[in-house]
């Protein structure tokens, strides 16, 4: 009798669910067919694309919750439309695929330099922590220093959180292995809470292969994050508030923003409604997962309607749920548009969704064997790991933004006097209308209290830029002056010092009379 592949997968899923009682701790060993494992991997990658597509029209358009009356469209061809017209939406995926590709070409022990070079010289545009990490690597500041908070003002941003899925997918049921594969790569661009965002998402994905209970996955994965960290406290609060207000996700959202909606790192987020902080956006992922209660639509809709990075958060949530359900378990309404693009390479890569699934399956099999599991032609036996916390690290400790100062002066007329222990200076170029020296890079010296502090090499065009002209932390709290010297100015060009964020060791809160 001939049995269809879909029936084999469905039976396999039932066996996995039977073996792994969702309401009890995961057993030490989990067996599943390779067909089921591949279906779950396919579901994780497809979930990321679906969630990213659903949230795409709303990305950073809302600093508050997205009202339920605001329409978010879906159609059978919507993913193809994004592929055709705005393929850069899928940075969540093609960034992951950079790392999947290196593992595929060089093996599980590929050196961090291979990942760093692939990332730093790729053709895709980057932003925030990734952009600064690219600049650092191209100028000889290699991982982990490229992501360290003193070298990267965006170290707490969401970047690694949205591109760490590869580690969870290649480590099914092995969250500590996932953490291991997050370490070197995650510290290329992030540190502290920014790194924890990736570790936590990868751990949830890892556990999603061997447990179907979302509350368990969310809580168990949190064991990978040190309890002393701000990140752990925030996610633990979301879990607690969900238990207290199980029917009101918007109340939990409000409490998250009340307690964790103050950005101290990202220069675009300080004193702004714009918030790309990993802690806040991770909380939105967890809100979607918990209040979505394994319903695919509610999960991505809630994660999206939390606002902020509202394509990346549903992408992460849907990837995790996709691993739980498997591709076969994602409702047809949501996965039908995926089938139209599964064989198409993502922009900036030669990898499609179908090939990503194949590469990740091969890597998962290797990680299973490396960590004590067994692999046969048709099945795998996974030695399930109990999550262990990664090391404690926190960026920006003892640093609080106390002033966002508008400067708006040409660089050669700028002396910034400030009182504090740190400063971040932002800039932009002005140029003639027909300026065409696309290879130009400004050489700028920064002086702190009259002493040369740093020399910058800042391209005007291309992928090697940086959004910050200068930053320094951990100064003695005192009066300081920052000035600049432009070494290779060209006629018609100018650099405008746009703004400065001043830091000190204590919050500055004006006391007002309450009458």
Q: Which of 323, 357, 383 is the last residue of a domain?
A: 383
Q: What is the pLDDT of residues 164-204, one digit of tens each?
A: 999 999 999 999 999 999 999 999 999 999 999 999 999 99
Same domain (yes/no): 332, 460: no
Closest CA to 167 of 191, 192, 198, 212: 198
Same domain (yes/no): 37, 120: yes
Q: Looking at residues 305-311, what average pLDDT do you find?
A: 93
Provide the pLDDT for residue 24.
53
Q: Looking at residues 417-436, what average pLDDT do you find?
A: 95
Q: In what order do the strands lie in the sheet with 379-383?
A: 29-33, 379-383, 374-375
CA separation for the pair 203, 174 (Å, rounded):
8
Kindly report the number of other CB atoms within 10 A of residue 404's CB atom.
Answer: 14
pLDDT band for 514, please (50, 70, 90 cuts): confident
Same domain (yes/no): 170, 302: yes
Cβ contact 290:215 at 8 Å: yes
pLDDT band for 515, please (50, 70, 90 cuts): confident
Same domain (yes/no): 305, 406: no
**pLDDT at residue 113 tops 50:** yes
Q: What is the dihedral of CA 201, 202, 205, 206, to 10 degrees?
A: -150
CA separation for the pair 463, 500 (Å, rounded):
24
| Tokens describing residue 502 | 């001043």
**What separation in angstroms does the CA of 198 have from each of 75, 104, 205, 224?**
30, 21, 11, 11
Same domain (yes/no): 57, 108: yes
Question: Mean of the per-residue pLDDT values for the chain?
Answer: 94
Q: What is the pLDDT of residues 91-107, one digit of tens each?
A: 999 999 999 999 999 99
CATH code for position 457 = 2.60.120.260
Number of domains composing the chain = 2
**pLDDT at residue 468 tops 60:** yes
Q: Looking at residues 147-153, what average pLDDT do you find?
A: 98
Same domain (yes/no): 40, 134: yes
Q: What is the pLDDT of residues 352-393, one digit of tens each?
A: 999 999 999 999 999 999 999 999 999 999 999 999 999 999
Least confident range of 140-144, 236-240, 437-441: 437-441
Interacting residues of 440 by C-beta distance below 8 A, sequence separation 6+: 459, 460, 461, 490, 493
Omega before residue 287 within 30° of 0, cis: no
**pLDDT at residue 319 tops 90:** yes
**pLDDT at residue 241 tops 80:** yes
Q: Which range of residues forms the domain containing residue 479?
A: 400-504
């Amino acid at each position: 009798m001939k049995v269809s592949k879909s029936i084999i997968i469905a039976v396999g899923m039932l066996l996995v669910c039977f073996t792994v009682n969702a309401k009890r701790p995961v057993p030490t060993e989990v067996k599943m067919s390779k067909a089921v494992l591949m279906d779950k991997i396919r579901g994780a990658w497809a979930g990321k694309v679906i969630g990213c597509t659903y949230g795409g029209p709303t990305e950073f358009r809302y600093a508050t919750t997205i009202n339920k009356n605001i329409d978010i469209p879906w159609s059978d061809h919507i993913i193809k439309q994004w592929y055709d017209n705005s393929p850069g939406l899928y940075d969540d995926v093609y960034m992951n695929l950079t790392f999947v590709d290196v593992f595929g070409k060089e093996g599980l022990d590929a050196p961090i330099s291979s990942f760093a070079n692939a990332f730093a010289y790729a053709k895709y545009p980057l932003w925030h922590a990734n952009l600064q990490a690219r600049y650092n690597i191209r100028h000889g500041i290699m991982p982990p220093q490229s992501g360290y908070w003193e070298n990267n003002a965006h170290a707490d941003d969401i970047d690694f959180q949205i591109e760490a899925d590869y580690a969870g997918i290649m480590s099914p049921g092995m969250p500590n292995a996932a953490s291991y594969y997050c370490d070197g790569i995650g510290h290329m661009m992030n540190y502290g809470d920014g790194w924890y965002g990736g570790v936590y998402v990868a751990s949830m994905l890892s556990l999603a292969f061997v447990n179907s209970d979302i509350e368990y996955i969310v809580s168990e994965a949190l064991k990978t994050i040190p309890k002393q960290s701000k990140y752990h406290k925030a996610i633990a609060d979301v879990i607690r508030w969900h238990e207290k207000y199980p029917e009101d996700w918007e109340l939990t959202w409000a409490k998250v923003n009340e307690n964790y909606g103050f950005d101290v790192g990202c220069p675009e987020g300080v004193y702004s409604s714009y918030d790309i902080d990993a802690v806040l956006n991770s909380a939105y992922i967890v809100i979607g997962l918990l209040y979505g209660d394994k319903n695919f639509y509610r999960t991505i809709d809630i994660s999206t309607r939390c606002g902020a990075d509202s394509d990346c958060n549903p992408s992460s949530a849907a990837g995790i749920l996709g691993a739980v359900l498997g591709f076969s378990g994602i409702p047809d309404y949501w996965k039908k548009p995926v089938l139209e693009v599964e064989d198409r390479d993502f922009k900036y890569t030669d990898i499609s969704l179908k090939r990503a699934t194949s590469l990740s399956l091969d890597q998962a099999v290797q990680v299973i064997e490396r960590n004590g599991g067994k692999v046969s032609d048709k099945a795998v036996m996974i030695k399930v790991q109990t999550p262990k916390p990664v090391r404690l690290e926190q960026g920006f400790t003892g640093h609080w933004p106390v002033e966002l100062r508008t400067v708006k002066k040409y660089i050669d007329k700028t002396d910034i006097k400030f009182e504090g222990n740190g400063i971040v200076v932002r800039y932009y170029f002005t140029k003639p209308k027909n300026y065409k020296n696309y290879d130009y890079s400004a050489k700028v010296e920064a002086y702190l209290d009259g002493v040369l502090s740093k020399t910058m090499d800042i391209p005007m065009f291309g992928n090697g830029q940086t959004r910050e002209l200068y930053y320094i932390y951990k100064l003695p709290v005192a009066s300081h002056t920052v000035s600049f010297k432009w070494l290779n100015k060209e006629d018609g060009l100018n650099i405008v010092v746009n703004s400065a964020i001043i830091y000190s060791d204590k919050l500055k809160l004006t006391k007002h009379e309450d009458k």
